[in-house]
C-alpha cells in the first residue's frame, strides 16, 4: 500500500490531522457500568484484595474452629456458610473481571491504533525532511561547483 508522499511543507501540513489522546477517547466512551467493571478489575487484581480475602478466610475458619461452641456460627468441618459466601463472591467477580479485561483490551487496541497513526505521520515528516535535505545538498553542490568554476577561470 503506497501512501501519497507530500512534496512540500504545505502539502505535509494539509495532511496533518490532530493527534488524539487514546486515553481520553477511551474514557469518553465508557458507560458508568464499564467504569465500575474496570474499577473492580483494577482493585480485585491487587495484593491488597488478596490480603483482605486471606485475612477474612483465616479469621472465619479460625473463629468457627477455635471459638467457644456457643459462639460458632458456621460449624467445623463443613463451613457451609463460608463456602456459600466464597462461591457467591467468585460467581459475581468472575464475569466482572472478564468485562473489565475486555474493556482494557479495547483500550490497548485504541492506544495501538493511535501509536500507528503517530508513527505514520512521523514517517511522512521524516521522508519530507530527507527529501528537502537532498534538495538542499543538490543546491549546495551546484553553488560549490559555480564557485570552483569562478575560482579556476
Please give the Cα distance from 33 to 100 (Å, whole number): 10
> Average of pLDDT values for 19-26?
80
Cis peptide before 47 (omega within 30 of 0): no
Identify whether the C-beta of residue 73 lies closer than 8 Å to the C-beta of residue 81: yes
For the chain, the domain total comes to 1
Q: Is residue 10 a part of any domain in this protein? A: no
Give the phi and the psi of residue 17 in degrees, each rounded to 5: -105, 150
Q: 6: which residues sit within 8 A by CB, 6+ positions away?
A: 12, 14, 15, 124, 128
- pLDDT level of residue 50 (50, 70, 90 thresholds): very high
Q: Is residue 119 a part of any domain in this protein? A: yes
> Average of pLDDT values for 52-59?
95
Look at the block and give the residue holding cell 496533518. Answer: 16
Local structure of residue 3 (DSSP, 8 states)? P
Q: Is residue 72 a part of any domain in this protein? A: yes
> How confident is the model over 100-143, as pLDDT tens digits?
889 889 889 988 988 998 898 888 889 888 998 999 999 999 99
> Average of pLDDT values for 50-65?
95
Q: 93: which residues sit within 8 A by CB, 6+ positions away?
A: 40, 44
Q: 132: which residues sit within 8 A by CB, 6+ positions away?
A: 9
Q: Is residue 122 a part of any domain in this protein? A: yes
> Taking the complete model, does pTM exceed 0.75, yes or no?
no
Q: What percent of the chain has pLDDT over 90?
A: 44
Q: Is residue 34 a part of any domain in this protein? A: yes
Domain containing residue 54? 21-152
Amino acid at each position: 500500500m503506497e501512501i501519497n508522499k507530500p512534496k512540500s511543507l504545505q502539502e505535509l501540513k494539509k495532511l496533518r490531522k490532530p493527534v488524539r489522546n487514546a486515553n481520553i477517547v477511551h474514557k469518553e466512551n465508557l458507560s458508568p457500568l464499564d467504569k465500575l467493571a474496570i474499577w473492580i478489575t483494577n482493585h480485585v487484581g491487587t495484593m491488597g484484595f488478596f490480603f483482605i480475602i486471606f485475612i477474612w478466610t483465616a479469621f472465619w475458619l479460625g473463629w468457627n474452629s477455635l471459638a467457644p461452641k456457643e459462639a460458632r456460627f458456621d460449624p467445623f468441618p463443613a463451613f457451609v456458610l463460608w463456602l456459600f459466601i466464597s462461591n457467591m463472591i467468585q460467581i459475581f467477580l468472575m464475569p466482572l473481571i472478564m468485562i473489565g479485561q475486555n474493556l482494557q483490551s479495547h483500550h490497548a487496541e485504541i492506544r495501538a491504533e493511535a501509536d500507528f497513526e503517530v508513527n505514520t505521520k512521523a514517517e511522512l515528516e521524516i521522508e519530507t525532511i530527507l527529501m528537502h535535505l537532498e534538495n538542499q545538498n543538490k543546491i549546495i553542490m551546484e553553488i560549490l561547483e559555480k564557485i570552483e568554476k569562478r575560482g579556476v577561470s
